[in-house]
Amino acid sequence: MTRCFSLTTARNQRYRSSFIKAGLRSTTTDLQDGTVMHCWVPKTLEDSKPNLLLIHGLGANAMWQWGDIVRKFIPSFNIFIPDLIFFGDSYTTRPERSDAFQAQCVMRVMEANSVRKLSLVGLSYGGFVGYSLAAQFSEAVERVVICCAGVCMEEKDLKEGVFRVSDLEEAARILVPQTPEKLKELLGFSLFKPPPLSLVPSCLLADFIDPTLILWGEHDQIFPLELGHRFKRHLGDNAHLVVIKDAGHAFKFEKPKESYRYLKTFLADLQDLQAPPSTPCPIPNHENRISSCNGAEKIQP
């Protein structure tokens, strides 16, 4: 049977070309403990720019999740985009699988690139890693943005029906899909208004398988909005929760302009940019802030 056109190969090539044109280069760092980390780093590190670390969530690799927004940040930041372990070209022979270990490996890559201070944005699973990195290396982290990451979820949440999926094994099969059908199910959970997935050729999906700001999608079906409110209560006054209206877990794809606007506003004073005066999301000048935004409306504490 003839295999249909490889969407992932074509998209990978497009993103790789885009990253290179934007001034990034592909690097691998051998951590000398059985772990090798791939990371996109600036071709030239500019001392006048702050450093911004973008941490992806579950998916093929970092390019797929940051490829449509990275060029907007390049003029103002030294951008670093790692592939987490077991994504893209990063791997380890060590048995550790925790978000704390992922965070330690990412930080070692930053140190290998002479980065001593940074801000970060963590998306979904990347939010868990980013939160852990900020907790472990607080002296190095200036600002943190957590997007749709259920950092404060508890085991009882599954039993009490907070999530649409109440079985951990079933959740794992959806979040790390091994069949086109499971990938379609994941897309259905991730998008508030998903496209008609039954029309997507299965062969394309099979090929694919091969300080604090809190951003959250109003209709997130993977990590419900209640977890965003809980996270905000946990962090207190130094955190701000922004909810993206009419969007789900994949709000960055459904509402790209709003997502970028909130990220830029929160990170703006790191490079002396003026936030638009009409923005509905004013952020006080606190240090070590973690924010979570998933919508175009600020939720008052």
- Please answer whether residues 214 and 232 qualify as being in contact, where contact means their C-beta atoms are separated by less than 8 angstroms: yes
- DSSP-derived letter for residue 262 is H
The low-confidence residues of the chain, meaning pLDDT below 50, are: 1, 174-178, 183, 186-187, 189-192, 197, 199, 201-210, 272-301
Predicted confidence at residue 237, as pLDDT, reads 79
Structure tokens belonging to residue 14: 């497009």
In the chain, domain spans: 7-149, 159-190
Intra-chain end-to-end CA distance of the chain, in Å: 57
pLDDT score recorded for residue 115: 96
Please, which residues have CB within 8 angstroms of residue 214's CB and are 6 or more apart in sequence?
145, 146, 147, 228, 231, 232, 235, 239, 240, 241, 242, 290, 291, 292, 293, 294
- Cα gap 301→299, rounded to integer Å: 6
Query: What CATH number should be reported for the domain whose range is 7-149?
Result: 3.40.50.1820
Count of Cβ atoms closer than 10 Å to residue 102 Cβ = 27
Residue 164 DSSP SS3: coil
23 DSSP 8-state letter: T
